[in-house]
């Protein structure tokens, strides 16, 4: 876990669902020891994995404490507020919202739309003057910039060579407040990465989620209850930036003012998959006129960012339009140098030979093309992609669902074969779900032949195969299991255990033929009884003999005593 990165993983909460791998547009997730970990060197900080993970194992760095400590220590902190605040806090009066932000401790509150105005003007100038490049891709979205630099480096030269609106705004604020730290608040995770790249300009980037939590802690949940800020000023049409076509609207207006006769072919692409498709199919050399592409990573624009309260394009669009329509074009007469050059920062991609890929596929149990199901259960679009990820040590073999299922079936089959018991599992209608061969053998030749023709006897009627279906019905109805009950069928004895697999829905049974064992037990009992009887008889005979001998001995002794007894002299006289 690297909580210092803008996006990080909490391994203890990962549940091996691979949903983040499946949804990550650039597969910047590395699976280690059954845990999905964000790979910083590959991440473009779109926040998709954070919004996708059902167990909150993917987290965004929390910078709230840093900002609270900053405003507690300094009285000149400035807040650059993303224009999408109008959709995040619908119905809130902007002037009153500024008052709420000042209650949090900010000395000044400015809308980032001011920086957007500067960017629009500069991009329009470049498009009006440019003869070298027929294609310009907006660099306003930091996620798009990272996507291009890392994964489509040949398009890096076509990114508009200007700063993003927030960095442009920071530079403008630096001219007005030379030493004041700037904090940004908005819906974007990528802004935290922008902050990491230029901390000297942007002190900290907060998400709206963090800002909302701070407002609750400070007791300013309802800004409309506060008085409006008297110095609040509506920004220019840079306020349209958070919606599809918002930047284009501003750039095109400036372009027409600078080059009335100029040609400009505008395009709006939102969503990473759509942008990837555009980059994979567009050849800048074939363009016959200047093309400007407004590219936003979030489908629908920033109003649907990963850290917005409600990710609804329609609702957010309407809320933002209510705010933006109050603004007027604001073309800055002077602005700071916001020039920036973007260079390819391609992540090192390992390539593997066909032999290596084929060997890995074979290890996954895929020996023929038809074995490659391409089910995407592992998170990768094809089995070959998974094989390459395994070779690159970004994935593990156990991610293959079909392989693990085959292994489980083999293990289960091996256990079933080794069991001395007959095993059967049935549903509430007593339809067999599975059984082993031993079970069919116990039921007789007909059932065994049926098993050989249809291994497992799936969907067979258990009630017609066994003579005691009422015992299974009883367990299904009551949920009370039967443990080692002896039943007799046609002179044979069976030990029967019926247990719950899913109470009232699925039951299982273990059946053991104990006829021979029971016969041996009864024979042993009979022999024991014979031994006991004979022993008792012998004891009785010995007792009789001893008794008779004792009586005879007593008579003999009595006679001897009489013979030798002394003569009574008185009787003799």
Distance CA 399, CA 2 (A): 24
Of 82-96, 222-236, 356-370, 511-525, give the lowest mean pLDDT range.
511-525
Distance CA 23, CA 279 (A): 19
- pLDDT tens sequence across 210-240: 999 999 999 998 999 999 998 888 888 889 9
CB 69 within 8 A of CB 98: no
507-521 as b/e, with b when 16 or more CB fall inside 10 Å? bbbbbbbbeeebeee
Sign of CA dihedral 360, 364, 369, 372: negative
Domain 419-513, what architecture?
2-Layer Sandwich (3.30)
Mean pLDDT of 332-360: 83
Can you point out the beta strands (E) in 71-112?
Answer: 78-81, 108-111
Mean pLDDT of 101-111: 95
Say which CATH class 350-414 falls into.
Answer: mainly alpha
Better-scored residue on pLDDT, 70 or 12:
70
- The edge-to-edge listing of strands for the beta sheet with 108-111 is 108-111, 78-81, 182-186, 204-207
CB 188 within 8 A of CB 60: no
Q: What is the percent of the chain with per-residue pLDDT over 90, rounded to a whole number? A: 48
Mention every residue, 6+ apart, whose C-beta is less than 8 A from residue 345.
149, 150, 153, 156
Better-scored residue on pLDDT, 500 or 560:
500
Show the tokens assigned to 176: 């007005």
Q: What integer pLDDT is reported at residue 503 of this predicted model?
A: 92
Distance CA 454, CA 218 (A): 69
Beta bridge partners of 493: 488
CB 130 within 8 A of CB 136: yes
pLDDT higher than 60, residue 567: no
- pLDDT tens sequence across 239-262: 999 989 999 988 888 888 888 877
Distance CA 394, CA 28 (A): 9
pLDDT higher than 90, residue 4: no
């Amino acid at each position: 876990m690297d909580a210092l990165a803008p996006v990080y993983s909490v391994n203890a909460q990962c549940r091996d669902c691979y949903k983040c791998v499946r949804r990550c547009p650039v597969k910047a997730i590395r699976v280690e020891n059954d845990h999905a970990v964000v790979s910083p060197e590959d991440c473009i900080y779109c926040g998709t994995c954070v919004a996708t993970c059902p167990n909150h194992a993917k987290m965004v760095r929390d910078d709230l404490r840093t900002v609270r400590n900053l405003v507690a220590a300094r009285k000149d902190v400035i807040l650059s507020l993303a224009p999408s605040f109008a959709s995040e806090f619908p119905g809130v009066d902007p002037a009153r919202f500024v008052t709420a932000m000042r209650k949090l401790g900010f000395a000044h509150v400015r809308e980032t739309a001011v920086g957007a105005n500067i960017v629009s003007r500069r991009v329009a100038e470049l498009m009006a003057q440019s003869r070298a490049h027929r294609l310009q891709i907006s660099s306003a979205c930091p996620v798009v910039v990272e996507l291009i630099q890392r994964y489509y480096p040949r398009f890096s030269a076509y990114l508009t060579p200007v700063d993003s609106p927030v960095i442009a705004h920071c530079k403008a604020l630096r001219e007005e407040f030379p030493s004041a730290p700037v904090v940004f608040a908005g819906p974007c995770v990528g802004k935290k990465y922008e902050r990491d790249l230029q901390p000297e300009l942007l002190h900290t980037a907060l998400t709206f989620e963090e800002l909302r939590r701070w407002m609750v802690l400070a007791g300013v949940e309802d800004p409309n209850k506060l008085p409006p800020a008297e110095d609040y000023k509506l920004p220019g049409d840079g306020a349209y930036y958070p919606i599809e076509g918002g930047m284009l609207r501003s750039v095109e207006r400036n372009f027409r003012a600078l080059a009335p006769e100029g040609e400009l072919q505008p395009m709006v692409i939102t969503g990473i998959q759509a942008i990837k498709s555009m980059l994979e199919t567009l050849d800048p050399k074939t363009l016959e006129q200047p093309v400007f592409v407004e590219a936003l990573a979030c489908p629908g624009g920033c109003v649907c960012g990963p850290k917005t309260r409600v990710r609804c394009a329609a609702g957010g669009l309407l809320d933002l339009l209510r705010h933006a329509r109050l603004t007027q074009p604001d073309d800055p007469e002077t602005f700071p140098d916001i020039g920036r050059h973007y260079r390819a920062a391609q992540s090192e991609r390992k390539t593997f030979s066909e032999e290596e890929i084929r060997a890995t596929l074979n290890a996954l149990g895929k020996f023929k093309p038809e074995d490659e199901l391409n089910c995407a259960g592992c998170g990768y679009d094809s089995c070959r992609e998974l094989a390459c990820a395994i070779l690159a040590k970004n994935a593990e073999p156990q991610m293959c669902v079909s392989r693990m299922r085959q292994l489980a079936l083999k293990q289960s089959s091996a256990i079933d074969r080794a069991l001395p018991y007959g095993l059967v599992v049935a549903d509430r209608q007593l339809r067999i779900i599975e059984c082993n061969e031993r079970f069919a053998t116990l039921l007789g030749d007909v059932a065994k032949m049926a098993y050989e023709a249809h291994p497992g006897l799936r969907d067979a009627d258990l009630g017609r195969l066994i003579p005691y279906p009422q015992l299974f019905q009883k367990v299904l109805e009551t949920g009370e299991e039967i443990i080692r009950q002896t039943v007799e069928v046609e002179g044979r004895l069976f030990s029967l255990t019926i247990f719950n697999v899913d109470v009232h829905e699925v039951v299982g049974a273990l059946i053991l033929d104990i006829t021979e064992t029971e016969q041996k037990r009864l024979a042993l009992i009979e022999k024991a009884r014979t031994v006991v009887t004979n022993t008792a008889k012998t004891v009785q005979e010995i007792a009789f003999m001893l008794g008779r001998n004792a009586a005879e001995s007593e008579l003999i002794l009595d006679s001897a005593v009489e013979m030798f007894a002394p003569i009574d002299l008185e009787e003799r006289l």
